[in-house]
Chain A
Amino acid sequence: MDDKNKKASPWKSLQFGLAILAGLVVYAYGFQITKVDLEDLRSERRQESLSRVMRALARPEIFEYEQQEEIINTPVYVTCPASGAPTIAEPDKSGPYLIATPACANPGETVQVEGFNFAPNTNGPLRFIPGSDPLNNVALGRDNVQTDADGHFSYEFKLPDRPSDDVQYIRATLRQNVGAPHLTQTARDTWEKIIETVFLALLATTFGTFLAIPLSFIAARNLMKPVKSPLASIALSILGWPIGIVIGFVIVRWIESLSSPFAGNILINLFAIIVIPILVSFGLRWALPQEEITKPSSRLQTARLAVLALTVMVAFFGLFQLASLSTNLGAIGTTALGTFGFLGNFLFQVGDIVSIITPALGGIAAGATLSSFMGRLGQRSTEKLSTANVKIFNLVFSTLAGATAIGLIGQLVRSLYLVNNLLYTLWGPVITGALLGFLLALFTKPKDTLPTGMVIYYVTRTFLNGLRSIEALVMAIVFVIAVGIGPFAGVMALGLHTIVSLAKLYSEQVESIMAGPLEAIQATGANRLQTIVYAVIPQIIPPYISYTMYRWDINVRMSTIIGFVGGGGIGFLLQQNINLLNYRAASAQMFAIAIVVASMDYLSSVLREKYV
């Protein structure tokens, strides 16, 4: 052992030396690449502008005073007139006045300006006003002049290169604060935007959390591993999705057309909102008995199915009526509520959103229902049919499902990339899909089960990991293009990023729950949904709350800069003011961000302590 160590030691120290050398090279290159240069920092020009910026930042533009200006001119000649030194009238010494000596000189020569009788301790710029073009004036010196306690100042400057035969002027504009301080326009804008920022983070976190929860279940290995189904069942449920979506969409649109004649009538809306929930609850209670000890007769089952379908349709009618009611009340409220008009607007927008997403919802619901129904049909066929028949069944439906699935992807490609070649977007995918489906059915044993759960798991994981690696700021750029500049783009971007990152974090929590209770609940005969509700959810509530708060923190921080790319919130103002070199305003916004982030931090730590 010792011997070995001794032998190895020169080689080891060589390795060590090489590693250090390599490190040095890497960092040297890094310096070169990132242009590390402290010399620049030391230059006077840099330091001067840095201190100017720091001074501005230290005085955030939050309060301001009403200002009173005293504007006084004194004549000056640039190049002395040929007639000799001009005679300047004695200024009125009862008020503030300026004296320039000499009163005439060549461009570039130094002139002294003295001010008397001004208000004490005021400041303001000195300007050179050309006689011919008074608007085209020139600031004299970089800094403002400042009067002393007697209201006097004295200042030297070089005359600008504006020769003229006429009389020209030097103007002092001294400003004085009067009255009590009040908020600046910047402060008011900042307030408005910081509120926008906080709500942007709130909405993004809420939506993100809601969508991340179901995703986290299908991205959890322990829940998905046992999900297996025979090929027939998979094929039929794939076919069920598009058919169901189309059927659901058409039916819901039809219900919408039934509802729309009554859309404008608030009384009918109200009536519907009250009656329909009662009907729906009766329908559901009859169609879905809470407990069933013996298997119901098939006639009863059919009747229940019919009532359930009818109930769901009535419920959708109610949803449209609710949307109309919300829109109508919102429209009234927006004007009638005055300051609280935003509540009306909220109702209006909610109504609008509900009426827009309801058909999609119907499509998805019908797709899921039909898919699960057809999946069960496939399951049953696999059990009941003979092996040879199952093989044929599999071949037929797997081919169809493959053709449909990949054909639909082809259609997506067509609409995304505007490919107009039917070979690539329709026949190619359909034939490939059919072939893949056929081969899959050919090579799987007819009654074998396939690991559907793991396939879904891997697809979901890949999708989550891919999207998660894109920064929210980059997503915001895409959404700004999609929905326009503004906070909505920010909400979408942050929301999407929240979904994918929370789903990942959540799913890891699901994977680390105790398996015992899961097993026990399954042993009672609970189905998958019940197992999740009774064994999984109780176990994951605390980590879910804590991750959601953590994400809320991140979203508040992100929402302060998402405006840099047009995603709304305070970042937009901040960036604008930095670009305009308006550092005092930028400083106000930075303060606002600091306060909000710090208080959100505090709030979430308090909540976390309380609930986790």
Chain B
Amino acid sequence: MLQIKNLTKIYDGGVKALDNVSFDVPDGQFLAVIGLSGSGKSTLLRCINRLIEPTDGQILWNGEDITKASPEEMRRIRRKIGMVFQHFNLVHRSKVITNVLAGRLGYINPAWSLLNRFPKADMEKALKQMERVGIADKADHRADELSGGQQQRVGIARALMQDPEMILADEPVASLDPVLAHSIMKHLEDINDKDGVTVLCSLHFLDLVHRYADRVVALNAGQLVFEGMPNEIDDKKFKEIYGRDAERVG
């Protein structure tokens, strides 16, 4: 169970990106986060694994307050939270296999990382995860030789290496074409269904939300403006979320 309580983030410049946001996410849920560009979706997801330090509020995960965790505790927490990014964020010059193995870094003793050594079990695991997302044949390619869809699969495989209990996906399909978008979303759905991993996924397209999400939260200018089922978003709600001039497409 993930509980967000009165979460506020004010950036150094004074921008209030999150304004007193509270909601709960039960284990195993596929939660979509929607909102206009700049509404604070990325900020919210990054506060959860503290890539961004929240200014105020609490994030309780299984009863433990993530905002109060020490660096060592944070390492232990982060390794259970996979993250998938809009721009994939692979290390371009490294091999695909290395990018995937990097998912294990939270478990590996840092002393061994200096020597660039991973246990054999991890190597096998990496191959299995790459097979699962369909890129096993690319293991020895450099990451930047892959197409966007393939790179995002590497990103998912990297997250899977963490044996995650939760995946944060920040617009995972925004830079992909619609066909690829569905294939990536299906991987996330599969992970959510089969492995029972909680997924928090920010999305731009409502059809994707309807198709994949169990529940939706919507942000507008850092405030939570909607929380409910995807099919509850009628025209009125839509205008609340996206502004009065917005038109529904698709």
Q: Which residues of A contact B (CB under 8 A)?
A: 284, 288-293, 376, 379-380, 383, 514, 516-517, 519-527, 529-530, 533-535, 538-539, 541-542
Contact = CB atoms under 8 A, between A and B. Distances in A.
The 6 tightest CB contacts between A and B, nearest first, are A525-B106, A525-B79, A526-B105, A516-B89, A520-B89, A525-B78
Query: From DSSP, what is the main secondary structure of chain A's interface residues?
Result: helix
Contacts of A524: 78-79, 82-83, 102-106, 158, 161-162
Contacts of A289: 109
Contact of A523 (B51, B94, B112): B51
Nearest to A513: B91
A32 to B, nearest CB: 54
Contacts of A288: 109, 111-112
Contacts of B118: 290
Interface residues of B, number: 48
B241 to A, nearest CB: 27
Interface of B: 49, 51, 70-72, 74-79, 81-83, 85, 87-94, 98, 102-114, 116-119, 121-122, 155, 158, 161-162, 168
A289 B98 CA distance: 20
Nearest to B109: A288
Contact of B89 (A517, A525, A530, A538): A517
A541 B89 CA distance: 18
Given A290-B108, A292-B107, A530-B105, A523 B113 contact: no
Contacts of A534: 91, 94, 98, 102, 105, 113
A520 B85 contact: yes
B91 A533 contact: no
Contacts of B74: 525
B42 to A, nearest CB: 11
Contacts of B113: 526, 529-530, 533-534
Nearest to B70: A383
A290 B102 contact: no
Contact of A527 (B87, B110, B122, B155): B110
14 contacts: A290-B112, A514-B92, A516-B87, A517-B91, A520-B90, A520-B102, A521-B105, A524-B104, A524-B106, A525-B79, A526-B102, A526-B106, A534-B91, A534-B102
A288 B104 CA distance: 16
**Which residue, of B71, B83, B113, B121, has the highest number of chain A Cβ atoms within 10 A?**
B113
A9 to B, nearest CB: 43
Contacts of B109: 288-292
Given A291-B119, A525-B162, A538-B92, 4 more contacts: A291-B107, A520-B155, A521-B105, A523-B82
B108 A530 contact: yes
